[in-house]
Amino acid sequence: MSGKATKPWPVVAILCATATAGYICRVNVSTAGPLLMQEFGLTQVQMGEIFSAFLAGYALFMIPSGAVADRFGARKVLSIITWLWFIITALHTLTGTGAFRAVPAVTLLIFMAFRFLLGISASPTYPGSGQGVSRWVPVQYQGRANGIVIASVGLGSAIAPPLVSNIMVHWGWRMALVVSAIPALVMAAVWLRTREPAHVNYLGTASVPADPVNSKVGRGKINSLSFYFLTLSYTLQGYVGYIFVSWFYLYLVQERHFSLLSGAWMSSLPWILSIVSIPLGGLISDRLIAGKAGKIWGSRIVPIFGMALSGIMISIGAHTQSGVMAAICLALATAFILCVEGPFWAMMMKTAGRRSGTAGGIMNMGSNVGGLISPALTPLIASWAGWENALHVAAVIAVVGAALWLGIKPAEETGELIRS
């Protein structure tokens, strides 16, 4: 196999940049929230409804979007949705002007409609990227390739706040949203000039299937106990991960009594660490699989230890009396819970074969179901039993997710991956 087919890192970089551009569009309204609330008289509850509108569209269309990626291929789907990200984000800025000028209640519905549409357009991002990795990246590199792509979560979360806040302070939230969508426009142009990479079959050799949709090669199997355990474990991982996405900053300020500024700096630490931990987890998993650990335990070690260590760090951070120590432990917990992303997606591909778009949609929907539950359930538990116990519950869930990997394994025969 040629070097380009063996190490297709340019297309992996494009997938990562695409997902990062999408994540910036996803979180930009969170940073612009204070100015939106001020201009339109929105309450915190109403801003929460705007955030939830995105997640509703994102989760509801996750499985259909994965199936679309399987049907039409990653390049076509990702090329189209990058244009949609820019267009829909630009439409946000019309709210409160011209025909979109309305009373606060209608303004809320307009924002929710735009966020719902953006959630739909964002839903193919990771299933589509997963489908691309499954076709374009040899098996031995898929863990690290997925880790690089999903590191977009940390990159987008780190880039969006300073980008949006600095622009909106000088030119307002409308200009900030438009500028935040420019990376999506750039990636749309990149996809127009990107050729379909040579397909890579699941034996790790370069090939170009005659028909990637109807060919029996690589269809894979989703209906298996291993895939059920994988999806359940990823759901629990999502439950834990979204606690940090939603509550880490407020926990530091309200429960650990950090100032607004110091809390903001400390709340960026998990995402800085995750930029390293996510691709590193995939790289280590690939090396273990290729080494003496073998493909079964090589696939399991990073998820088991990553999720278990996250649970331990959560409990230590919840119990310690030191606010700084709590912040550091919880930041490490975030890095550990996210370092398993690459192995999760690589295992999904080894199970699903050419149906990786659909399987990725199912698995990612599970994660978002966990993400819908934990931000609401965690403060309810905290109001009843205290924040320390609420975080201990999350720690137990992380350990349970780790234990499920004892029942997860790749196909014992490569042939199982290439026959329906």
Whether the model clears a pTM of 0.85, i.e. scores above it, the answer is no
Q: What is the predicted pLDDT for the residue at 401?
A: 97
Q: What is the predicted pLDDT for the residue at 204?
A: 42
Q: What is the predicted pLDDT for the residue at 412?
A: 52
Using DSSP's 3-state secondary structure scheme, residue 103 falls into coil
User: Where are the CATH 1.20.1250.20 domain residues in the chain?
Assistant: 1-200, 216-411+416-420
Query: 216-411+416-420, superfamily in CATH?
Result: MFS general substrate transporter like domains (1.20.1250.20)
Torsion, Cα of 358, 239, 247, 300 (10° steps): -90
Sign of dihedral through CA atoms 169, 171, 177, 181?
negative
Q: What is the predicted pLDDT for the residue at 411?
A: 58
For 207-316, strand residue ranges (E) read none
Q: What is the predicted pLDDT for the residue at 216?
A: 40
HSE value, Cβ hemisphere, 13 Å, CA-based, for 403 = 7
Cβ atoms of 417 and 350 closer than 8 Å: yes
22-39 per-residue burial string, b: 16 or more CB within 10 A, e: under 16: bbbbbbbbbbbbebbeee
Amino acid occupying residue 249: Y
- 296, two tokens: 């079964």
**Measured between alpha carbons, how far is 163 from 156 in angstroms, rounded to an integer?**
10
- 237, two tokens: 């991982």
Q: What is the predicted pLDDT for the residue at 220?
A: 52
What pLDDT, in 10s, does the model give residues 258-283? Answer: 886 676 677 778 888 988 999 999 99
Phi/psi of residue 206, each to 5°? -70, 140
Q: Among 274, 206, 268, which residue's Cα sits nearest to residue 241?
A: 274
State the residue for tokens 């991002």.
Answer: 125
Low-confidence ranges of the chain (pLDDT < 70): 1-7, 44-45, 98-105, 197-222, 246, 250, 260-261, 263-264, 411-420
Class of residue 302 by CB neighbours under 10 A (exposed 0-12, middle 13-18, buried 19+): buried
State the residue for tokens 């390739």.
Answer: 145
**Measured between alpha carbons, how far is 328 from 273 in angstroms, rounded to an integer?**
11
Q: Among 131, 149, 12, which residue's Cα sits nearest to residue 69?
A: 131
**Measured between alpha carbons, how far is 217 from 212 in angstroms, rounded to an integer?**
8
**Measured between alpha carbons, how far is 282 from 114 in angstroms, rounded to an integer?**
35
**Measured between alpha carbons, how far is 1 from 134 in angstroms, rounded to an integer?**
17
Q: What is the predicted pLDDT for the residue at 416?
A: 43
Q: What is the predicted pLDDT for the residue at 353?
A: 74
Q: Among 323, 331, 181, 192, which residue's Cα sits nearest to residue 269?
A: 331
Q: What is the predicted pLDDT for the residue at 4?
A: 43
Q: Give the CATH number of domain 1-200.
A: 1.20.1250.20
Class of residue 414 by CB neighbours under 10 A (exposed 0-12, middle 13-18, buried 19+): middle
Cβ neighbours of residue 297 under 8 Å, at least 6 residues apart? 288
State the residue for tokens 């550990």.
Answer: 336
For the chain, the C-alpha Rg in angstroms (whole number) is: 21
